[in-house]
Structure 1
Amino acid sequence: MKKLEKGFIPVMLTPFKENGDIDFGALTKLTELYIEAGAAGLFANCLSSEMFELSEEERLTLVKHVVTVADGAVPVVATGTFEGSLQQQADFVKKIYSTGVEAVIGITGLLATEEESEEVFNANVFKLLDLTEDIPMGFYECPVPYKRLISPELLGALVSTGRVTYHKDTCLDIEQVRAKIAATDGYQFGLYDAYMVHAVESLKAGASGLSCIQGNFFPELIVWLCNNYNNRDLAAEVNRVQQFFIDNMDVMHHVYPIISKYYLQQRGFEISTFTRRKGIGEFDGNIKKGIELLADRYNILRAELEIKFAIA
């Protein structure tokens, strides 16, 4: 990503109508909401977008819609590797890039099977770069179909090619994050951390920003943290925000993304809780009560920090 200041890159939700179709009107408003909240960029067609439940045509149409709505206000990245051979994945990378995104994201767990060695994975990553010509790329350690981490050594080698500009990190290990940042130092490149438990440490270590599901509940708060993580005058408040995310980590993962859409409803955003994702659990009364209590805790914190809700 070209922005040099710390930034929040939301992993975008996909709003659906109750009949299961993509709700492009709500997607427009959601894109505007992220931007109004202060997002530095947008990650469309990701796991939170239910990308594996979308058809190829829907993926392309969705990404193009986000790019059009953003209209250059912020850069957009989007996933471009799915099922099929490396050549088929490369072909779809080209289609996604044609929508106008700044970089196309490769899913690490689709570039080698779980049983295949690091040598096979490394070779496949470089082959994908060869097959995609000069398209700017990024990588995402997506937990689906399984989580394949990129080593600091491989990430450094990839970034040194000048082709890889973005990485969404999910290793959950601050020492690995520090090693990856060190291995890519000096290049036009951004590592965006997904793990909010060590968000402040990651930002202080040199991460370019945060890209987390919590941004689909509290985008303004993630932006506030990116802006103030190193502000000595607000050190106590930063510690409170960090602890807020640690204390409330579990509740935001239950029946996700339904729970995030429900929370957005509670703050007045018009979005259905419909999801195409299967097997995520039951959205019952206890889950609803948990997110309502979380909303109350956030409203207290938000008032004390004088953070206003973004409104699209």
Structure 2
Amino acid sequence: MSNKNKGYIPVMLTPFEENGAVDYKGLTKLTESYLRAGAAGLFANCLSSEMFELNEVERLAVTQHVINVAGGAVPVVATTTFGGTVFQQADFTKRMYDVGIDAAIVITNMLAGAAEADEVFEENVFKLLDATNGIPLGFYECPDPFKRVLSAAQLKQFVDTGRVIYHKDTSLDIEQVRAKLEVTRDVAAFGLYDAYMVHAVESLKAGAAGLSCIQGNYFPELIVWLCENYDNTALADEVARVQQFFIDHMDVMHAVYPVAAKYFLQKRGMPIATFTRRDVGVFDEQVKQRVEVLYDAYQQLFQHIEVSGVDGLPDGGK
């Protein structure tokens, strides 16, 4: 995970059976599809994975399964902080690291309350660093239960410890992204991955290591293509078209997510259910129709650009 090579890090879904149990066969197929699409790493046990609705045993088991399927082909990271004291969060971080993750991802809102000052948060970050015995860490500006966005100065002081190798940015602010990249630019082992596809091309050009966005749970190969071609002058028109595609369809991809994404993958041939443990709203006929329109628009996009299909998704992206 480095800013020298642009890559896509999927925020992985967790497939469930209709009875609510984790669907490990579906998780195998889903993991394989991310890898075949060209993912540079895998972010297991994240918000898209419904991490807050998994118990500790499931969080460990799901992450272990992803690691086993990946087989060392790419790094695997996972969220490890879910509240409690700093030392309780450090304990689960060590348990998760023992299953074989490459970095433990810290949720920024779990180390200080919404009303607590930055100084409290920063003190707790350093306590966690001290309590986790050299484990490589990353930060995730998770929007639930509230969003705590790091400043460039905060990120720099954490990265300067040599322990932080990953940052998933959800600031939605390209100027904040640029500021964070500027102060960490010389740290080769660190990579910032942007979650906001509206300014994906700008972020990559500014020096982001890649993208880590929910849109990859609809068409992972398209995110990989953008990471590989964002600065290809021969494909400038196609890059602009892809960037505009994400801007135009941002709302529908976030509506009733992750149910909508699971439905979209079903349409592409992925054998997973749309079941979700999260209360994300009703996937009614109106939402379904909007996803159908998105599917048609995606197919039309492929008439204008060359993107490899994905084994395991029978429509091949077309």
Do the structures match in fold with TM over 0.5?
yes
User: Which residue of the partner structure matches residue 250 of structure 2?
Assistant: 249
User: Which residue of the partner structure matches residue 230 of structure 2?
Assistant: 229
Q: Distance in 1 between matches of 2:262 and 2:10?
A: 14
Contact 2:3–2:210, Cα closer than 8 Å, also in 1: no
More displaced stretch, 124-133 vs 35-44: 124-133
Contact 2:15–2:272, Cα closer than 8 Å, also in 1: yes
Q: Distance in 1 between matches of 2:36 and 2:282?
A: 32
**How high is the sequence identity, in percent, across the aligned residues?**
64
Contact 2:178–2:203, Cα closer than 8 Å, also in 1: yes
User: Which residue of the partner structure matches residue 50 of structure 1?
Assistant: 50
User: Which residue of the partner structure matches residue 5 of structure 2?
Assistant: 5
SS in 1 for 2:256: coil
Unmatched tracts of structure 1, length 5 or more = none
Q: TM-score, normalised by structure 1?
A: 0.98
Unmatched tracts of structure 2, length 5 or more = 313-318
Work out whether 1:16 is the aligned partner of 2:22.
no
Q: Deviations over 1:188-223 (max 9, x none)?
A: 100000000000000000000000000000101000
Structure 1 segments of 4 or more deviating over 2 A? none
**How far does residue 2 in structure 1 lie from its aligned partner after superposition?**
5.0
User: Which residue of the partner structure matches residue 316 of structure 2?
Assistant: none
Contact 2:3–2:207, Cα closer than 8 Å, also in 1: no
Q: Distance in 1 between matches of 2:234 and 2:308?
A: 20
User: Which residue of the partner structure matches residue 39 of structure 1?
Assistant: 39
Q: TM-score, normalised by structure 2?
A: 0.96
Name the Cα RMSD after superposition: 0.9
User: Which residue of the partner structure matches residue 213 of structure 1?
Assistant: 214
Q: Distance in 2 between matches of 1:271 and 1:4?
A: 35
Contact 1:302–1:308, Cα closer than 8 Å, also in 2: no
Work out whether 1:150 is the aligned partner of 2:150.
yes
Q: Distance in 1 between matches of 2:115 and 2:197?
A: 29
**How far does residue 302 in structure 1 lie from its aligned partner after superposition?**
1.8
**How far does residue 3 in structure 1 lie from its aligned partner after superposition?**
7.8
Equivalent AA in structure 1 for residue 41 of structure 2: G
**How far does residue 150 in structure 1 lie from its aligned partner after superposition?**
0.8
User: Which residue of the partner structure matches residue 125 of structure 2?
Assistant: 125
**How far does residue 304 in structure 1 lie from its aligned partner after superposition?**
2.0
Q: Distance in 2 between matches of 1:195 and 1:64?
A: 28
Work out whether 1:116 is the aligned partner of 2:116.
yes
Q: Distance in 1 between matches of 2:174 and 2:126?
A: 26
